Amino acid sequence: MDVHVVVITGAGSGLGASLAKKYSDLGCHVCLLGRTQTKLIRTAETLSHNHSIYEVDISSKSDVAKVMQLIKEEVGQIDLLINNAGVGIFDLTENLSEESIHQMIDINLKGTIFCTQEVLNDMKKRNQGYIVNIVSLSGKRGKAIESVYSASKFGARGFTESLAIELEHTAIRVFGAYMGNMKTELWGGASSEDTFMEPDDVADVIMESIKPRKYASVEEIIIKNNKDKY
C-alpha cells in the first residue's frame, strides 16, 4: 500500500488511536487530529515513527481548511484520510437539546464532508489516494435513543456511497466501515461490556480490508461482535 502520510480525525482515543499506532508501526507519518491536545499527546507517545499533532474543530470548515493546508506545507501530500471523529448523545428524541443535535450533525456528518473536501483536489490531481469513513452500524439501521445519532450516520453513509460513485473512474478509493459497539469513550460506562469489540481488532480488520488488490477491492465492511443482531 503506497501510503506515506496518514491523517486521522478523532485520533485522541479509541479506534483513532489504534489506527494511528498501527500505521505508525508501518512507517507512515501519522497526523493526529482532534479537539483535545492532551489526548492527542497521549496517543503520540505510543507512536514509533514521525507524527504531527493538530488541534482542530472539524465542524468548522475554515478551521479544517487551515489545518489541511498546514499539513501539506509541513508534512506533504495526504495519501490516506480516515474520517474517524464522532460524537454520540443518546436519549429519547424529545429530550435531545438543540445543542446536542447540532453537535452530532456538525461532527459526524459535516466534519466528514469538510475534511474530505480538503483532500479531494490534490488526490484528483495525482489520481491516487484513500478516503476511509468510519460510520458505524447506526448508519445501516435505526435504534431507540439513537435517532439523531443514526440520522447523522445515515447521512455519512449516503455521502460515502455517493462519493464512491463520483470517483469510480479514478484511482481514488473510498471505503466505509460499519461496526458495532466498541470499548471506547463514546459508550461511556458501557465500555466494560464483555461483548464489546476491542478497537485494535477493528483497526486490524479495516486496515486489511483497504489494502489494494489487483483484481478486487472492498468498498464497505460490516464489523460486529458475535452477539450483535444485524
Q: Quick: pLDDT tens for 150-192.
A: 999 999 999 999 999 999 999 999 999 999 888 876 555 444 5
Number of domains forming the structure of the chain: 1
The CATH number covering residue 154 comes to: 3.40.50.720
pTM (predicted TM-score): 0.93
Quick one: pLDDT at residue 2? 80
Distance CA(33)–CA(30), nearest Å, equals 10
Cell matching residue 183: 470499548
Catalytic residue chosen out of the listed positions 23, 54, 149, 178: 149
Residue 62 covered by a domain: yes
In tens digits, the chain (230 residues) has pLDDT values of 689 999 999 999 999 999 999 999 999 999 999 999 999 999 999 998 899 999 999 999 999 999 999 999 999 999 999 999 999 999 999 999 999 999 999 999 999 999 999 999 999 999 999 999 999 999 999 999 999 999 999 999 999 999 999 999 999 999 999 998 888 765 554 445 667 899 999 999 999 999 888 778 888 999 988 766 65
Query: Residue 193's domain spans which residues?
Result: 5-223
DSSP 158-184: HHHHHHHHHTTTSSEEEEEEEE--BSS
Verify whether residue 54 is a known catalytic residue.
Answer: no
CA-nearest of 114, 121, 132 to 3 is 132
Residue-wise pLDDT tens digits, 99-116: 999 999 999 999 999 999
Residue 230 covered by a domain: no
Residue 122 covered by a domain: yes
Contact yes or no for 90/136 (Cβ under 8 A): no
Residue 81 covered by a domain: yes
Residue 70 covered by a domain: yes
Residue 152 covered by a domain: yes
Residue 116 covered by a domain: yes
Residue 228 covered by a domain: no
